[in-house]
């Protein structure tokens, strides 16, 4: 009897991630190309990093009461860092009159958009507006979300729920979405793809954007994951809530790129160094 020849595993399409680009100094020769979306969470504790994100972004949009947070962190102190806010959008039940007046007063040129939809959150309205602005282009626009995963637990879970809604396409045709929470950067890795994530551009050192901790979380359903570049790499490792979870793994000092494959969508989160 002829021996059975094992079938080779089909190579997964590659998705490249360059999250270090988000935090490049403004003087970089290759500036990032993303929109910055601010949610209604205090930003005082990480205003330095948020200013870096702001200066790198090509479009700035605040979801309703997020305008209060920007005004409280800068405008109220005569700091013009966030004065070039492009859009405030939502049902406008959270924005204060002081913040609205500030952003509508020249030389500021913020467009305030009233959008009433009881079945859509202000977060979703801001994403919809941003994607509609860039949809005519051949490539979707990446969005960095500030204020995600902070504050109330139910709000944090809602934001993760929306991340699943916003990242349905396995090839990210409408752009990638990153959640910045001050201490970490989080994004979704779609199933059936080989995700190549650049975590540093050179040898480990003080200029690293990311600290060493990494988590890979199966939020929606159980998954099998395979990793390369972490201290505790795994192959076809089952993970689920109530079972095994990959938290507090470490990026190795020599690692420049992490590779992750998953059979179902998972969240990937990395801790940040303070810039």
pLDDT of residue 237: 97
Using only C-alpha atoms, what is the Rg of the chain? 20
Helix/strand/coil for 150: coil
pLDDT of residue 135: 81
Share of the chain above pLDDT 70, in %: 91
Torsion angle defined by CA atoms of residues 213, 49, 58 and 140, in that order, rounded to the nearest 10 degrees: 20
Mean pLDDT of the chain: 90
* Mean pLDDT to the nearest integer, 3-7: 47
Helix axis angle for 122-134 and 153-166, nearest 10°, is: 30
Q: What is the pLDDT of residues 15-52, one digit of tens each?
A: 999 999 898 876 666 667 899 999 998 888 888 899 99
Q: What is the pLDDT of residues 235-266, one digit of tens each?
A: 999 999 999 999 999 999 999 999 999 999 99
Asked if residue 174 lies in contact with residue 131, where contact means CB atoms within 8 angstroms, the answer is yes
């Amino acid at each position: 009897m002829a021996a059975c020849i094992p079938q080779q595993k089909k190579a997964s399409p590659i998705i490249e991630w360059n999250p270090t680009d988000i935090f490049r100094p403004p003087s970089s020769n290759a500036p990032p190309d993303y929109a910055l979306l601010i949610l209604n969470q205090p930003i005082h504790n990480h205003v330095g990093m948020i200013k870096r994100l702001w200066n790198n972004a090509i479009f700035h949009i605040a979801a309703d009461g997020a305008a209060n947070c920007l005004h409280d962190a800068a405008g109220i102190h005569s700091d013009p860092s966030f004065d070039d806010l492009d859009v405030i959008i939502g049902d406008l039940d959270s924005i204060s009159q002081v913040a609205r007046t500030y952003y509508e007063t020249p030389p500021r040129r913020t467009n305030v958009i009233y959008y009433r939809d009881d079945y859509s959150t202000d977060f979703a309205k801001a994403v919809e507006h941003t994607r509609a602005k860039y949809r005519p282009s051949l490539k979707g626009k990446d969005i960095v979300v500030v204020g995600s995963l902070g504050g109330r637990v139910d709000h944090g879970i809602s934001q993760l729920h929306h991340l699943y809604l916003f990242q349905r396409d396995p090839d990210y045709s409408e752009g990638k979405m990153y959640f910045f929470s001050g201490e970490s950067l989080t994004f979704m890795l779609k199933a059936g793809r080989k995700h190549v994530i650049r975590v540093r551009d050179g040898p480990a050192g003080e200029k690293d954007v990311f600290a060493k901790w990494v988590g890979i979380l199966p939020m929606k359903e159980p998954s099998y994951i395979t990793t390369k570049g972490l201290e505790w790499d795994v192959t076809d490792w089952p993970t689920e809530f109530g079972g095994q979870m990959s938290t507090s793994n470490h990026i190795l000092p020599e690692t420049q790129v992490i590779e992750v494959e998953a059979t179902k969508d998972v969240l990937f989160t990395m801790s940040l160094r303070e810039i």
